[in-house]
Amino acid sequence: MVDELVLGLESSCDEMAAAVVRGGREILSSAVHGQADVHRPYGGVVPELASRDHVRAVSRVAERALADAGVGPEELSGLAVTAGPGLVGSLLVGLSFGKALAYRHGIPLVGVHHLVGHLISAELASDALRPPYVGLVVSGGHTALYRIEVDAAPQLLGQTRDDAAGEAFDKVAALLGLPYPGGPAVSSAAESGDPAAVDFPRPMIRDRGLDFSYSGLKTAVALEVERRSRLSAHDGRLSSRDVADVAASFEAAATDSLISRCVRALEQEGISRLAVVGGVAANRRLRRGVEREAHRRGWLAVFPPLELCTDNAAMIAAAGARLLARGVRHGPELNAFSRVPLGAAAWTAATA
């Protein structure tokens, strides 16, 4: 696998991305076309608009990734494409393009589970991260803990019972009148706020399991915003201080929940290595909290670089390279899926 070149395509939600990876680890190029401007007026991703924009962008993004890597399609050893989970309309754009390109040039094709890609992004960031380790996948659509072993499908340890953490950030941003995407906006507002201004509940903090919940926290924020709006001297609008304090207090509650579950999972599993991946892994407060606990307890905590936290194709190419090296191949029958457990063996061989 040392010199093999794999083109990755990722289109599971609102990013159209392509990347070329050599040897399963060396990123030669990574091109991402985002859609924040498309979805900002609606405060969230509109699936139909996302898929239409992918149709317009897919060939251009793939061409840019190949050009930046200095590679022609005929030089590729394989092509990896996200098959799911995600928005089916968006997935089908990348999948259809990948199938056509693979057929045209006789390139082996492999479908990749989106969450496997995120977990591999941590392995790209650190040679020291080797199974067994605990992986926290935390994004707009996913919040779950997995035990990653050698030669075994990832074992689900806990997951959200309602909303994903990233979705909660987006909803809170909307409540506070902050722009989309909500995660960076809330984090930015929180920098000037007091995280102790509001004693928001820490979801399921006393529960001995490893599941997550964010619907109650969202409701608590909504009630606090309503209360402050009634008391506002600005015609019902929150002051900048109110926005900053509520944002900081919410961020503290949301990240404390994630950190406490990571600590509990590592202790329960008897493991000292942790990978935190997904869009919310870019959150500065979460990173500082996890790193503080890791330093105190002598654990290894790995976060991907910021450009590999959000959806990207380098992680898909790297995961695909591992699958291809194990002889996994998919044909024209490969289809997109909106949901499938990460533990399904057909989609998890890359982490073994």
Are residues 136 and 44 both part of a single domain?
Answer: no
Q: Which two tokens stand for residue 191?
A: 């920098």
Are residues 200 and 264 both part of a single domain?
Answer: yes
The four Cα atoms 306, 308, 312, 315 give a dihedral, to 10 degrees, of 180
Kindly report, residue by residue over 178-208, the tens digit of the pLDDT: 998 899 999 999 999 999 999 999 988 778 8
Are residues 62 and 110 both part of a single domain?
Answer: yes
Q: Computed from CA positions of residues 48, 307, 130, 26, in that sequence, does the dihedral angle turn out positive or negative?
A: positive
Are residues 268 and 330 both part of a single domain?
Answer: no
Q: Which two tokens stand for residue 51?
A: 């898929």
Kindly report, residue by residue over 64-119, the tens digit of the pLDDT: 999 999 999 999 999 999 999 999 999 999 999 999 999 999 999 999 999 999 99
CB-facing half-sphere around the CA of 240: CA atoms within 13 A: 4
Residue 125 located in a structural domain: no
What's residue 66's pLDDT? 98
Are residues 155 and 103 both part of a single domain?
Answer: no
Q: Which two tokens stand for residue 76?
A: 């590729």
What's residue 344's pLDDT? 56
Are residues 191 and 291 both part of a single domain?
Answer: yes
Query: 318 Cβ partners below 8 Å, 6+ apart?
Result: 6, 8, 21, 24, 25, 117, 120, 121, 123, 124
The pTM of this model reads: 0.91
Are residues 154 and 299 both part of a single domain?
Answer: yes
The angle formed by the CA atoms of residues 136, 62 and 185, to the nearest 5 degrees, is 45
Q: Which single residue is written with the structure tokens 């392995």?
A: 123
Of 263, 270, 265, whose CA–CA distance to 290 is shortest? 263
DSSP SS3 for 124: helix
Residue 123 located in a structural domain: no
Kindly report, residue by residue over 320-332, the tens digit of the pLDDT: 999 999 999 999 9
177: left (phi over 0), alpha (psi -120 to 50) or beta: left
CATH number (domain holding residue 110): 3.30.420.40
Query: 231 Cβ partners below 8 Å, 6+ apart?
Result: none
In which domain, by residue range, is 107 found? Answer: 5-118+311-351
Tell me, what amino acid is at 136?
A: L
The angle formed by the CA atoms of residues 156, 159 and 284, to the nearest 5 degrees, is 110
